[in-house]
Amino acid sequence: MPVSSPRPLALPHSRHIKQGRDFTRIKAQGRRTVNGCLIANWMVLAPESVSRLAVITPKRIGPAVVRNRARRLLRESYRLHQNQFLAPVDLVLVARPSIAGKDYAQVERDLLAALRHARLLKFTP
């Protein structure tokens, strides 16, 4: 019999940051940390809100294949740990050129280190 988690680990499109004004607001009013292969910009939201994510992969990272892989790795790392946040956040992850060639474990380690440094996680696995 499958065991159900407290909340589903899906990341529907409704939980993606899409509007330019949201990116601007997070950059202007939010906080920022750099760790390894990524830059994390975030803003803590009201408790009744839901967390949202945006991933930015600049062209200087490499060709489209490399950028798409970086995007997938960052989204998957976030998706698996989205239930560990202390409070809902709007999170913008910007990939750095060093992400090219990294595997999932390295990207996940960098993301968790950034989130721990920002004191956004409930516990540290």
Band of the pLDDT at 8, cuts 50, 70, 90? low
Per-residue pLDDT tens digits for 60-116: 999 999 999 999 999 999 999 999 999 999 999 999 999 999 999 999 999 999 999
> In order of start, what are the domains of the chain with their CATH numbers?
18-116 (3.30.230.10)
Determine contact, residues 41/94, Cβ cutoff 8 Å. yes
User: Residue 122: is it exposed, middle or buried by C-beta count within 10 angstroms (0-12/13-18/19+)?
Assistant: exposed
Spatial contact of 90 and 56, defined as CB atoms under 8 Å apart: no
The sign of the torsion formed by the CA atoms of 78, 66, 69, 55 equals positive
